Structure 1
Amino acid sequence: MRALSTIGSVLTRYVALIIIALSALAFVVPQAFVWATGYTTIFLGVIMFGMGLTIKPSDFKVVFTHPKEVLIGAVAQYTIMPLAAWALATVLQLPADIALGVILLGCCPGGTASNVITYIAKGDVPLSVGMTIVSTLLAPLVTPVLVYALAGAWVEVSIVAMFVSVVQVVLLPVIAGLVVSAFAHRAMQTVQPILPVISVFAIAFIVAGITAANTTKILESGALVLAVVVLHNAIGMGVGYAIARLFKMDYAKTTALAIEVGMQNSGLSVSLAAANFAANPLATLPGAIFSVWHNIAGSVFASVRCREGKQVAPAASSARA
C-alpha cells in the first residue's frame, strides 16, 4: 500500500505531463483513443466518486471555522471566472462553439487538482478543500444559471438539462462517495492509495479522447483556444490573488484562494459540452486544453509561491521574536 501511495503522489504531481503525453499520442494515433469520448461522463463520475471517498467530516469544519474565507472563495469562483470567460468571448469575438466552451469552463466549480497544487505551494489545504467542496455542491444550481445567462447570446441553453447533467456527473457521485466512506471507512482506507492513480488516468483519458475526436479542429483552432485558455487562467489566478490581498489574508490563505479561483473542473466542462451541446463539437476543446494548461500554470505558480513563502517564514519568525 505504501508503494501505491508513493506512485499516486508522483502521478498526481506530474499529471500535466501525463495528460500531454497521452494527448500527443491520441493526436498521432486517434483511433486508439477515440473510444474514450463515449465514456467521458463515466470517467468524470469516477473522479467525483473518488473525491467523495476522500472527504472527511473534518474537511467540513473549515466551512464553519473560516466561513468568511470560504464565502469569499465561492463568490470569487462564480464571478471572476464566468465574467472573465464572457469578456474574452465578447472582446475577442470568438466563434460560437469556442465561446460556449470557454463560458462553460468559466461557470464550472473549482477542480480537485487545486487541492494538490495548493499543497505543493504550501498553501492552506483545508481551506482549498473546503472551497472546492462548497463550489462543487453549489454547481448543480449555479452553473446552469450562469451558462444560460452568459452563453445565451451564442447558443440556446436548457437550464433543466444542464442541471440534470451536473447532478448526475458531480453531485450524485460525490454523495455516493461520502456515504460509502461513512459506512465502510476502514475498507475505504485500504483503497485510498490507488484513488489518485485512477483520477489521474481518468482525466487523462477524457482529454485524450477529446483530442482524438477533434484532431482536425485542433489544427484549425487549437492556437486560438490555447491563447484564450492561458488568458482565462491568468485572470483567475491574478484577480483571485488580488482579492485575497484586499481582504488581508495571510500567505497560506492567499495562495489557496488564487489557485482555487484559477483552476476549474475542466472535466465537467467537457462532459457538459458533450452531453448538452452535441451540435457544437468545438465546445469541448477549451476544457480539454485547460486540463493540460492549468496544471502547468498551477505548478509554476506553486514553485513561485514556495520561494516567496520561504522569504515570508523567516520574517514572520523574526516578528514573533
Structure 2
Amino acid sequence: MDKIEKFGRFVGRWFTLLVVLWAAFNYVLPQTSLWIVPKTAYLLGIILFGMGLTLKLEDFERIIKKPIPVIAGTVAHYVIMPTLAWLLCLIFQLKGATAAGVILVGSCPSGTSSSVMAYLAGGDVALDVSIETLSTLLAPLALPGLLLLFAGKYVAIPTTSLFVSTIEIVLIPIILGVVIHSVFGRKIERITKALPLISQVAILMIIGAVISANHANLFTASTALVIPVVMLHNLSGYGLGYLFSRVIRLRDPQRKAITFEVGMQDSSLGATLAMKYFAPAAAIPSTIFSIWHNISGSVLSSYWRNKTDNKAKSNSEKEQTFVLKNEN
C-alpha cells in the first residue's frame, strides 16, 4: 500500500502533464479509448465513491457550525459560473450542442482537484472541502435547473432524466462512501491512501474516452472557439470568485479556497452527462476544461505559494535584522 501511495503522489505531482500527453495520445490514436465511452458513468461513480470514503461526519458538522462561508462560496459557484458560460455563448455566438456543452460544464459542481490546488496555494482546505461537498450534494437540483434556465434555447433539456442520473452518478456513490467510512472507520483508512491514484486514473480514462469519441470534430471550424471560451470561463471564474471573497471580507486562506471552488468545475461529470444526453460535441467543452483548469490551477497555486514563501522569508529577514540591531 505504501508503494501505491508513493506512486499516487508521483502521478499527482505530474498529473497536469499526464492529462495533456494522454489527450494528445488519444487524439493521434483515437481507437485507444473508444471502448471506455459507454463506461464513463461508472468511472465517475468510482471517483465520487472515493470522495465519499474520504468524508467524515466532521465535514458535514463543519458546514452546520460555520455555514456562512460555505453557503456563500456555494452560491457564488452556482451563480458566477453558469452566468459566465451563458454570457460567453452570447458574446462568441455559440450555437447548439457546443453552447449547451459550455453551459453544462458551467453548471456542474466544483471540481474535485480544487482542494489539491487550495492546499498547494496555502488556502483554507477545510472550507474548500465543505463547499465542494455542498455543491456536489446540490447538483441533482442545481444542474438540471440551471441547464433549463440557460441552455433551453440551444437544445432540449431532459430535466427529469438529468435529475435521476445525477442522483445515480453523484449522490448514491458519495452517500455509499460516507456510510462505509462511518461503519468501518479506521479500517478503511489504508484503502483511502490509494484513492487519489484511482481517481486520477479514472479521470484520465474519461478524458481519453471523450477525446476518442470526438476525434473528428475536436478541431473543426465549429468548435474552434471553444478553447478561448473555456479559458476565459475558467479565468473569469477565478477572478470573480476572488473578488466576491474580498467583498464579503474573508481572510486570505478563505479567499484562495473560494477562488478555486468557483473557478474549477467537475468537468468529468459534465463530459459524462454530455455523452449520455446530448451530441458528442457537447462533451468537448468539458474535456478542454478538464485539461485547462489543471494547468491554470497549478500555475495559480504555485504563484500564491511562492508569494507566501517570499513574504515569510522577507519577514524572517526583517526580524533577524531587528534582533541584530538590538544586540549591537
Report the TM range for the smaller structure's normalisation: over 0.9
| Percent identical residues | 40
Partner of 1:126: 126
The equivalent residue for 2:218 is: 218
Aligned to 1:247: 248
- Residues 272 and 316 from structure 1, CA distance in 2 versus in 1: closer, same or farther, beyond 3 angstroms? farther
Residue pairs, 1:18-29, within 5 angstroms: 18-29=18-29
SS in 1 for 2:218: helix
Are the counterparts in 1 of residues 81 and 106 from structure 2 also a CA contact under 8 Å?
A: yes
Letter in 1 for 2:292: W
Contact 1:19 1:208 in 2 (8 A): no
Instruction: Please tell me whether the aligned partners of residues 245 and 255 of structure 2 are also in contact (alpha carbons under 8 angstroms).
Output: yes
Partners of 1:161 and 1:30 lie apart in 2 by 29
Q: Secondary structure at the match of 1:93?
A: coil
Match of 2:323 in 1: none
SS in 2 for 1:155: coil
Pairing 1:293–2:292 present: yes
- Does the C-alpha gap of structure 1 residues 219 and 132 become closer, same or farther in structure 2, counting only changes over 3 Å? same
Tell me, what secondary structure is at the counterpart of 2:194? helix
- Residues 43-62 of structure 1: pairs in structure 2 closer than 5 A: 43-62=43-62
8 Å contact kept, 2:73–2:258: yes
Question: Pairwise mapping of residues 163-174 of structure 1 onto structure 2 (< 5 A)?
Answer: 163-174=163-174
| TM-fit CA distance, 1:109 | 0.4
What is the Cα deviation at residue 226 of structure 1? 1.2
C-alpha contact (below 8 Å) 2:85/2:103 kept by paired residues = yes
1:284 is the counterpart of 2:244: no
Q: How far off its partner does 1:311 sit?
A: 4.9
- Aligned 8 A contact 2:98 2:282 in 1: yes
Task: State the Cα distance separating 1:146 from its structure 2 match.
Answer: 0.5
Taking the aligned partners of 1:84 and 1:219, their CA distance within structure 2 comes to 23
For residues 65 and 9 of structure 2, what CA distance do their matches in structure 1 show? 29
Distance 1:91 1:8 in 2: 41
The 4+ residue runs of structure 1 with deviation greater than 6 A are 314-319
Deviations 1:47-77 (A, max 9, x none): 0000000112222233133211101101101
CA RMSD in angstroms, aligned pairs only? 1.8
The normalised TM-score by structure 1 is: 0.94
Matches within 5 A, 1:75-154: 75-154=75-154
Residue 119 of structure 1, CA deviation: 0.7
Which residue identity is paired with 1:40? T
Larger displacement relative to structure 2 (286-295 or 13-22): 13-22
Cα distance in 1, alignment partners of residues 213 and 282 from structure 2:
13
Q: Unaligned stretches of 5+ in structure 1? A: none
Preserved contact between residue 11 and residue 196 of structure 1 (Cα < 8 Å): no
Which secondary structure does the structure 2 equivalent of 1:26 belong to? Answer: helix
Counterparts of 2:174 and 2:130, CA distance in 1: 14
Could you tell me which runs of 5 or more consecutive residues in structure 2 were left unpaired when the two chains were aligned: 320-328
The one-letter amino acid paired with 1:276 is: Y
Q: TM-score with structure 2 length normalisation?
A: 0.93
